[in-house]
Amino acid sequence: MTCPICRTPTEWKNNPWRPFCSERCQLTDLGTWATGGYRIPGTPLTIDSERPIDEDPDPPQTGSITPDN
């Protein structure tokens, strides 16, 4: 299977971060919907509930992802 974030082929078995390849990608995904990218209805939020999700103080940086270069 492939990590939905970075498209890296990753193992499903024994992978605590599935369907992602790593914790980093899992957090990236969390960040995506925490900033209004998308939402999963009925999913309990375990992120900071003190912080109102209102505006995006840190726009996502694309520097870490290098597409075709």
**Nearer to Zn ion (CB atom), residue 6 or residue 27:** 6
Residue in this structure with the two tokens 């912080």, named with its chain if needed: 51
Please state the closest distance from residue 20 (CB atom) to Zn ion, in A: 5
d(CA 53, CA 42): 17
- Binding residues (CB under 5 A) for Zn ion: these are 3, 5-6, 8, 21, 25
Residue among 19 and 35 whose Cβ is closer to Zn ion: 19
* 57 vs 67 by CB, closer to Zn ion: 67
The Cα 33–Cα 13 span in angstroms is 25
